[in-house]
């Protein structure tokens, strides 16, 4: 059976620890490969190599760095189909969704190609008598990205695209559940002309996460995963003097106003709640109809839409979504549905006993719909991360606004309405980081940035865009003059210009 090691010094290498974890095919439930868990010594070697490469890369002019990234972008696009099928075989999402995963990562690489313009500093000529002031954005050095299972292409490219474009070296630590695509993405960077050692991939578990947070040479850590782990990584990394941006969980709400285009809202929410089997931090697992009439109209249209969905294997082009990533996660989702019923929710659609004929051992979960969910229920407060949609009914606009604003998570939210004034007020007042107006999954484009509030994000910096550029660089400001003639006797006085 194939064992995936690491990517160090421009090539794949076998792991040395002897510890491995199984990689499953979620469609069949079978183990298809193993992945090595690195030792701290292996991380040390990778970081030392990355540090050497970074010194040279930082001195490379930005347009040359941009050309390498542009070649990389073209190479990833040329390998799109292979990457998508590889991703689906380990994650379980349908191939069309996997292509989207890769493409949204490519969008950030495309933005990163323009960093020579974005990384320009500021300059003031004549800030004082014959004194000029200018600033530079310098790379940090070696940085690390720790990425989750649910977007094994997009999120790694979010991180290393911005890190490398600004002159850093990067150590990528992907999820051990689906490491093949991150490994291949790093390999493609080397094939595109990336310097040997600049981008490395180390597979591992908590031991390597801790080692990354503690490593003296690593200057910044970017993380995406659950909120508890995000908080842990943020605390440990910052305690060691590192910069950290750590994105956590979510419980995104979709507010349906009485005047909403219900047909469009149902179509949007169906895909946002159940697409990718709900394994998205920007999924829409809570719908909030305003008014009883709105709730009943939503149910009337949503039920046949759910019934018409097709759950299938990842390679089925007609499937709306495929299996979840693991048996453990499947069982957790089903347990949450059971718990919601015990808490008093009304189970309208039950997906717990779903089984796909011919793939009975696969990690499939049918769609569930729960009505009359209330804010005091644990299953409302917690992230289920599966194909489960909860309905929380609200009497008024103010009640609906209060729900996402007071929730522990603040990643994304959407409002469905034809009233511009209501939409504008909602967007202004809601205590959530990313807002969609008639847009169910408001993930910003690459030249903006991604980031939530409250327990959805730890650290001040968002992912990618100009926020990402600032995270991976530090400002150096130079004040200069070239005096001639008589000397200045005010050397002991603070300059006032």
What confidence score (pLDDT) does residue 416 get?
Answer: 98
Position 488 scores a pLDDT of: 62
Domain 253-437: give its CATH superfamily.
Aldehyde Dehydrogenase; Chain A, domain 2 (3.40.309.10)
Name which residue leads in pLDDT, 460 or 96: 96
Would you state the pLDDT for residue 491?
62
* Alpha-carbon gap, residue 359 to 312, rounded angstroms: 9
Confidence (pLDDT) at 118: 87
Residues of the chain with CATH 3.40.605.10: 3-248+456-478
- 268 in Cβ contact with 416 (< 8 Å): yes
Mean pLDDT of 278-306: 98
> Where residue 497 falls among pLDDT bands split at 50, 70, 90?
low
From the CB of residue 451, how many other CB atoms can be counted at a distance below 10 Å? 23
Domain 3-248+456-478 has CATH 1.20.1250.20: no
174 Cβ neighbours under 8 A, 6+ residues apart: 147, 152, 156, 182, 183, 201, 203
> What confidence score (pLDDT) does residue 483 get?
86
pLDDT in tens, 238-259: 999 999 999 999 999 999 999 9
Q: Do 302 and 290 touch, CB atoms closer than 8 A?
A: no
486: pLDDT strictly greater than 70? no
- 142-170 burial, b at 16+ Cβ within 10 Å, e below that, comes to bbbbbbbbbbbbbbbbbbbbbbbbbbbbb
Which region among 126-140, 202-216, 282-296, 376-390 has the lowest average model confidence (pLDDT)? 126-140
- Does the annotation count 281 as an active-site position? yes
Q: What mean pLDDT is predicted for residues 343-363? A: 97
| Confidence (pLDDT) at 121 | 87
Give 96 or 129, the one with higher predicted confidence: 96
Query: What is the rounded average pLDDT for all residues in the chain?
Result: 96
**What is the percent of the chain with per-residue pLDDT over 70, rounded to a whole number?**
97
pTM reported for the whole predicted model: 0.95
**CA distances in angstroms from 481 to 126, 189, 374, 495, 497, listed in the order given:** 9, 43, 66, 13, 12
Q: Give the CA-trace dihedral at 15, 18, 21, 22, to 10 degrees.
A: 90
DSSP 3-state percent helix, strand, coil across the chain (nearest 5): 40, 20, 40
For residue 403, what pLDDT band results from cuts at 50, 70 and 90? Answer: very high
Q: Give 56's pLDDT tier (boundaries 50, 70, 90).
A: very high
pLDDT digits (tens, 9 = 90+) for 154-209: 999 999 999 999 999 999 999 999 999 999 999 999 999 999 999 999 999 999 99
- Of the listed ranges 57-66, 120-129, 368-377, the one predicted with least confidence: 120-129
Looking at residues 325-344, what average pLDDT do you find?
A: 98
In the chain, residues under CATH classification 3.40.309.10 are: 253-437
Write down the catalytic residue from 113, 170, 246, 281. Answer: 281
Give the 3-state secondary structure of residue 255. strand
> Phi first, then psi: what are they for 137, rounded to 5°?
-105, 110
- pLDDT of the residue at 484: 81
pLDDT of 485 above 80: no
- In percent, the amount of the chain with pLDDT more than 90 equals 95
Helix (H) or strand (E) holding 167: none
Find the DSSP H helices in 176-291.
180-191, 206-214, 227-239, 262-274
pLDDT of residue 37: 98
Cα(first)–Cα(last) distance of the chain, in Å? 71
Average pLDDT over residues 254-268: 98
């Amino acid at each position: 059976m194939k064992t995936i090691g690491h990517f160090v010094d421009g090539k794949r290498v076998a792991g040395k620890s002897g510890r491995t974890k199984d990689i499953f095919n979620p469609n069949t439930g079978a183990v298809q490969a193993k992945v090595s868990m690195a030792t701290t010594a292996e991380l040390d070697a990778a970081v030392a190599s990355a540090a050497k490469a970074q010194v040279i890369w930082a001195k490379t002019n930005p347009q040359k760095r941009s050309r390498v990234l542009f070649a990389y972008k073209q190479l990833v696009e040329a390998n799109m189909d292979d990457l998508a099928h590889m991703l689906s075989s380990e994650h379980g999402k349908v191939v069309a969704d996997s292509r989207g995963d890769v493409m949204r990562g490519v969008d950030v690489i495309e933005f990163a190609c323009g960093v020579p313009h974005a990384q320009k500093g500021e300059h003031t000529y004549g800030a004082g008598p014959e004194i000029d002031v200018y600033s530079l954005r310098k790379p940090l050095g070696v940085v690390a990205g720790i990425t989750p299972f649910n977007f094994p292409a997009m999120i790694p490219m979010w991180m290393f695209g911005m890190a490398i474009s600004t002159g850093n070296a990067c150590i990528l630590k992907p999820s051990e559940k689906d490491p093949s695509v991150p490994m291949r993405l790093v390999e493609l960077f080397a094939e595109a002309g990336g310097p040997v050692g600049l981008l490395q991939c180390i597979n591992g578990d908590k031991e390597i996460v801790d080692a990354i947070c503690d490593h003296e040479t690593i200057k910044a850590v970017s993380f995406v995963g659950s909120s508890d782990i995000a908080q842990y990584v943020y605390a440990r990394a910052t305690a060691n003097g590192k910069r950290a941006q750590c994105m956590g969980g979510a419980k995104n709400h979709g507010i349906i106003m009485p005047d909403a285009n219900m047909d469009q809202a149902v179509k949007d929410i169906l895909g946002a709640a159940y697409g990718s089997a709900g394994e998205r931090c920007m999924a829409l697992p809570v719908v909030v109809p305003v008014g009883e009439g709105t709730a009943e109209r939503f149910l009337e249209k949503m039920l046949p839409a759910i019934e018409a969905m097709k759950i299938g294997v990842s390679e089925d082009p007609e499937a709306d979504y495929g299996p979840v990533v693991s048996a453990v996660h499947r069982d957790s989702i089903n347990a949450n549905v059971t718990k919601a019923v015990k808490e008093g929710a009304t189970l309208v659609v039950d997906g717990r006993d779903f089984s796909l004929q011919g793939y009975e051992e696969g990690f499939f979960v049918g769609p569930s719909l729960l009505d009359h969910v209330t804010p005091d229920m644990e299953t409302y407060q917690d992230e289920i991360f599966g194909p489960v949609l909860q309905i929380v009914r609200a009497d008024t606009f103010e009640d609906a606004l209060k729900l996402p604003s007071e929730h522990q998570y603040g990643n994304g939210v959407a409002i469905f309405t034809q009233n511009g004034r209501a939409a504008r007020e909602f967007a202004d007042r809601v205590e959530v980081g990313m807002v969609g107006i008639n847009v169910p999954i408001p993930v910003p484009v690459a030249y903006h940035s991604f980031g939530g509030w409250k327990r959805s994000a730890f650290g001040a910096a968002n992912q990618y865009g100009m926020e990402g550029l600032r995270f991976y660089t530090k400002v150096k400001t130079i004040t200069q003059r070239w005096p001639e003639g008589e000397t200045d006797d005010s050397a002991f006085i603070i300059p006032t210009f």
